[in-house]
Chains A and B, each alone.
Chain A
C-alpha cells in the first residue's frame, strides 16, 4: 500500500491544504491502487480515471491561486452506482438499466463537486439496491477483503470494499434498510445514514422513496462528518428534503463524552439472532463510552420485529411499484435474488402498505419519546459475522430481524462504527443512533469512541 492511500480523508485534506501533496498526486495514487486491486475485489464498475485526473488538475490549479473551496477540495471519492452522474453510466448494476446514462448529476454528487471533490468512478452495488450478492447479475459482486468467501454487505457493497482496500478515502452510499451501515460493518469501515430528508435524494435511483437515505461512507467518523457537511442541506427540488438547519458535524467533534447520555438497547443486543460476540462487543463499547464520561442507561424501544416488518412492507411495496412494469416483461434479465425480493412486493395489499406507513409514524414517535431523555442509542450494527456468500437466502429478513431497520423507520441518524474483530477474524460494529437532526451528536460520539479505540483501526490482513 502506498503511504498516501492509507491515510484518512482528513489527513489527505490537511496535506493538500499545506501544499505537501497535490490532488493529481493523490488521485494518481488511488488510480494505481484501483488498477492493481479491482480485478480481485470488483469494487468499481465504471472507473472515470481520465475525468478524475482532469478534475484533480483543475483543483490543483485553483488551489495554486489561493482559492481552496474547503476541506474536500482535491479529494478523490467514488459513488455508489445508484447516484446519477451526467454523461456517465448509472446502471444500479442491473441489466434493466445497462445503457442508462443520466443527463444531470444527483444533487448530493453535485454538492461534492462544488466542494471540489474528484470522481474516481462508480461503485458496485447489489442489483437495484436490494438484491445480491449474485453470480447471475450484470456485474460481479464486490468481494469482502477480510474473507472473500463472506458477504461484503449490501447494498453499498462496492463502497465498503473500496474503502477497506484503500482504493478510495470516501464515498457516497444509500441506505433503505441498512445499506450503508451493513457494508460499513462487514468491511470494517464507517458510515452514517443521516436524518431522513437531510441529504437530497434527487438523482439517487429509488428503491423506496419513503425509506431511502443518501449518506457518506469513509474509514473514520471524522471523514464521514466532512463528507456529510458538504452534502447536507435543503434541496427545493426534492419533495422530502427538510428545511431544518443542522449544525456542522466536523467542527463539533471532541474526544470526550462528558455530559452525553447513552441509551443501551439491551433487548436488541440480546435478541436470539444476535451473536454473543456482537453483544459483547457492544457492551465493551459502552464501557469505553462510560470511561470517556458518558452516562449509560438501559432503554427499551418497540420490538425489533415491529420495525423489521414495517420496513420490509414499505420497502418491497414501493420497490415493486417502481419496477413492476419491467418485472412483467423482463424479469428474466434480473438476478434471482433481486427478482424474488422485489416480486414479493407485488402481493402486498394497499391496505397493508398504508397500515405499515401508519405503523411507521407510531414507531417513530415511540423512538422519539425514548430519546427525549437520551442523547444517543447504542446497539449492535449486525447480528454477527457476515454470512458466507453461498448461504445467503432471498428472504433472510423474514427469518431474522433487521437490526438496522429501526433507524430507517424512525428516520433518525445512525452511524456504524467498527468495534473490534471477531473470533473468525471479521470486523464487528456498533450502531450509534441519535435524535432527529442530531447527526452531529451521533458523529461526535462515534468519533470519541473511535479515538479511544485505536487498536480497532485495522486494514484487512490481505491489504496490510
Chain B
C-alpha cells in the first residue's frame, strides 16, 4: 500500500490525517504487515473454529 493509498484509507476510517505523522505511521503499518506471515497456523480452520468464544451466561 502506497502512502497515498494509506492516506485515503485513513480518511475512509474517519481519522484526521493532520493528527498524525503519516510517514512514520505508514512505515509502521508496512512493517507490521510484513510480519503477518507469523500469524499462520498449522490448522487455521481448527484454530479459528474456536473463535469467537461467546458464553451466553455472561449476558445474564
Interface residues of A (CB under 8 A from B): 239, 303, 305-306, 309-310, 312-313, 327-328, 331-332, 336, 339-340, 343-344, 346-348, 352, 354-359, 361-362, 394-395, 398-399
Contacts and interface: CB of A to CB of B under 8 A. Distances in A.
Given A328-B15, A343-B20, A398-B35, A354 B48 contact: yes
B4 interface: no
A460 to B, nearest CB: 34
A37 to B, nearest CB: 35
Contacts of A313: 32, 36, 39
A316 B13 CA distance: 15
A306 B25 contact: no
Contacts of B15: 327-328, 331, 343, 346
B51 A354 contact: yes
A155 B38 CA distance: 26
Closest 10 CB pairs of A and B: A358-B47, A239-B58, A331-B19, A355-B39, A395-B28, A328-B14, A309-B38, A309-B35, A398-B31, A358-B48
Contact of A310 (B13, B38, B58): B38
A340 B20 contact: yes
B31 A347 contact: no
B32 A348 contact: yes
Q: For the complex, would chain B's binding face be called helix, strand, loop or mixed by DSSP majority?
A: helix
A398 B39 contact: no
Q: For the complex, would chain A's binding face be called helix, strand, loop or mixed by DSSP majority?
A: helix
A209 to B, nearest CB: 11
Contacts of A359: 38-41, 47
Nearest to A344: B28
Contacts of A344: 25, 28-29, 32
Interface string B46-60: 011011100100100
Interface of B: 6, 9-10, 13-16, 19-21, 24-25, 28-29, 31-32, 35-36, 38-42, 44, 47-48, 50-52, 55, 58
A246 B20 CA distance: 46
Contacts of A336: 21
A273 to B, nearest CB: 15
A239 B21 CA distance: 38
A343 B19 CA distance: 10
A462 B35 CA distance: 42
B12 to A, nearest CB: 10
Contact of A306 (B6, B14, B16, B38): B38
B7 to A, nearest CB: 12
B28 A358 contact: no
A325 to B, nearest CB: 9
Contact of B25 (A327, A332, A343): A343
A309 B39 contact: yes
A314 to B, nearest CB: 10
13 contacts: A310-B39, A327-B15, A328-B13, A328-B16, A332-B16, A344-B29, A346-B13, A352-B36, A358-B41, A359-B41, A359-B47, A361-B47, A395-B28
